[in-house]
């Protein structure tokens, strides 16, 4: 009887460990999927935003350079704005 209890306990422990392992694997896979989606969405948003803002930044840098500011300083000032 004791052997049967021990064997049953071992089986339940293995089953719980297996379920926990599979659950963790699925949770990790879901997390990685959502992180990949988030990074892709962020990259697309940045691409769209930069293409809208970029011409304005080029004009701003050109205006600052015309006023005597070096290109490097104008670029840094533009990024800080």
Q: List the domain boundaries for the chain.
A: 2-80
Phi-psi sector, 42: left (phi>0), alpha (psi -120 to 50), beta: alpha
Question: What is the full per-residue pLDDT of the chain (81 aa) written as tens digits?
Answer: 576 677 778 777 777 777 778 778 888 888 888 888 888 888 888 778 777 777 777 777 777 777 877 666 666 666 655
């Amino acid at each position: 009887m004791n052997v049967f209890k021990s064997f049953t306990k071992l089986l339940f422990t293995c089953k719980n460990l297996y379920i926990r392992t599979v659950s963790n694997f699925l949770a990790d896979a879901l997390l990685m999927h959502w992180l990949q989606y988030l990074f892709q969405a962020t990259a697309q948003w940045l691409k769209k935003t930069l293409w809208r803002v970029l011409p304005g930044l080029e004009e701003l840098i050109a205006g600052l350079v015309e006023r005597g500011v070096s290109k490097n300083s104008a670029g840094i000032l533009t990024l800080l704005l």
